[in-house]
Amino acid sequence: MESVNKLGRILLVEDDPKDVELTLTALEEYNLANEVIVARDGEEALEYLYSRGKFKTRSSGNPAVMLLDLKLPKVDGLEVLKQVKSEEKLRMIPIVVLTSSKEEKDMVASYKLGVSAYVVKPVDFHEFVNAIKELGVFWAVINEPPPGSVRK
């Protein structure tokens, strides 16, 4: 894909290794996987965003998009959302909630906290791959991220 050159960095926050694997596989299929950082829980996600803990020495810049699961160990997705949206430096990062839950209250809470999109992971793998691909292409390639985002 030609767009590889200006691919935005994706922060994938997902605790389930299988979901991580399947998501990465889906992204790989469209050559979108080379700039994906995986955080396994809410705390790791925040560590990455604030460049602390195991991400202390990471290269600077915000991700072009954060794909965020809601049900996470330690700090859950909604809490991560709350913190990011209340932080001046981070609040502009586009956040896509990527979750198994179709529950209305999760959806309402997420939108209230200012998410850019809410995607329910389809059970069907085809649809899942399509969804991930479209998300990757849109947010990492098509969308013009806010200033301060890393784009190769």
Contacting positions for another protein (CB under 8 A): 16, 18-19, 22, 25, 71, 99-104, 121-126, 128
State which residue, 62 or 99, has the beta carbon closest to another protein: 99
Q: Which is nearer to another protein, 49 or 80 (CB)?
A: 80
The residue type of 57 is: T
6/111 Cα distance (integer angstroms): 29
Q: Which residues face 38 on adjacent strands? A: 12
Residue nearer to another protein on the CB measure, 99 or 149: 99
Tell me how far, at minimum, the Cβ of 24 lies from another protein, in Å. 12
Q: How far is the CB of 25 from another protein (least distance, A)?
A: 7
Residues sharing a CB contact under 8 Å with residue 14, sequence separation 6 or more, in sequence order: 20, 23, 38, 39, 40, 67, 69, 98
**Residue number, 61 or 122, with CB nearest to another protein:** 122
CA distance 4 to 7: 5
For residues 82 and 54, is the Cβ–Cβ distance under 8 A? no
Q: Between 47 and 79, name the residue whose CB sits nearer to another protein.
A: 79
CB count within 10 Å of CB 52 equals 11
Instruction: Kindly state the smallest distance separating residue 77's Cβ from another protein, in Å.
Output: 11
Contact 96, 68 (CB under 8 A): yes
